Amino acid sequence: MAAQLRQLRQKIKTVKSTAKITRAQEMIATSRIVKAQQAVAASKPYADQITQALTALVSHHVGIDHPLLEEQPADNRSAVLIITSDRGFCGAYNANVIREAESLIKALRDEGREPVPYVVGNKGITWYRFRDRDVAESWNGFSDRPVFGNAERIGRRLAEDFLKTDAEGGVGEIHVVYTEFVSMLTQTVRVTRLMPLEIEEAESSKVPPAYEFEPSAQAALDLLLPNYIESRIFHMLLQSAASFQASVRRAMKSATDNANELIGVYTRQMNQARQAAITQEISEIVGGADALADSGGE
């Protein structure tokens, strides 16, 4: 009985230590979500403005052309950029992204295309490495706090591969699998085709202004398209970072609640064991007293 009490006390101590850790992780994630949301909101005006500028450029100069705007039916390879996290403790965040990416890869293969994975985050890299599956390129170390330089490196590599032919190791289209931050409770995995670009002009009752580009519209397009791609990737990285922090907060809160519940269960078991031990000791004392009384009466 004493051994059982010691075991229960040790379990309670261990679970309380775990609860302190999960509670601390929950508080850290809560504080970081606010900053991640602010970063997403700050990037949106820039993304909207560069999209409007690119749309106006393409709309007013129909004759200009760029390789990033063209379909490449001859290229049979499709790049799939998979944005995961560097750390765990985030529930099903990474599993959902990888599952959606695998569904996309299967769909591409069914269409007769060869998918080529590009992975962001240690969790995705480890998943592919464990299964001995090759990736074209990988990036890590910034999934929870991305900066524009990270998106710039990714965008340049993807754009370079898109401009190559299959024989040169290029790809004909690029898809991105990331997690969109909808709210603190809702994060949705999205699949977006990044290239070839599909520019859709927003509906408006106003006549769009006429632009004059210097030195030329073609030169402006050459400059805007790479920036547009990098800004899109940066926005997706920020969305994924905010979603990751929200997933960590939710997972750690659930872990803390479960730990507190388990502490209650162990505490009840310890109290029952202590009561049983006390009852047993009283029974032994009473039994011994009765035995002495009986022997004295004889």
Cα(85)–Cα(142) distance, integer angstroms: 8
- Please compute, for residue 28, the number of CA atoms within 13 A of its CA located in the half-sphere on the CB side: 13
**pLDDT per residue as tens, the chain (298 positions):** 667 778 888 888 888 888 888 888 888 888 888 888 888 888 888 877 777 777 777 666 555 666 666 666 667 889 999 999 999 888 899 999 999 999 999 999 999 899 999 999 999 999 999 999 999 999 999 988 999 999 999 999 998 888 887 778 888 889 999 999 988 888 999 999 888 876 554 444 455 556 666 666 677 777 777 788 888 899 999 999 999 999 999 999 888 889 888 888 888 888 887 777 777 777 767 776 666 666 655 5
Residue intervals in the chain for CATH 3.40.1380.10: 25-251
Q: Are 83 and 101 in contact (CB under 8 A)?
A: no
Domain 25-251 fold is Pyruvate Kinase; Chain: A, domain 1 (3.40.1380)
Q: Are 89 and 248 in contact (CB under 8 A)?
A: yes
Closest listed residue to residue 82, CA positions, set 150, 179, 178: 178
Looking at residue 279, what is its pLDDT? 79
Residue intervals in the chain for CATH 1.10.287: 1-21+254-289
- Tell me the DSSP string of 54-120: HHHHHHH-TT---GGGS--TT--EEEEEEE--SS--STTHHHHHHHHHHHHHHHHHHTT-EEEEEEE
Domain 1-21+254-289 fold is Helix Hairpins (1.10.287)
Dihedral sign for Cα 85, 86, 90, 96, please: positive
Locus of tokens 């403790």 = 89
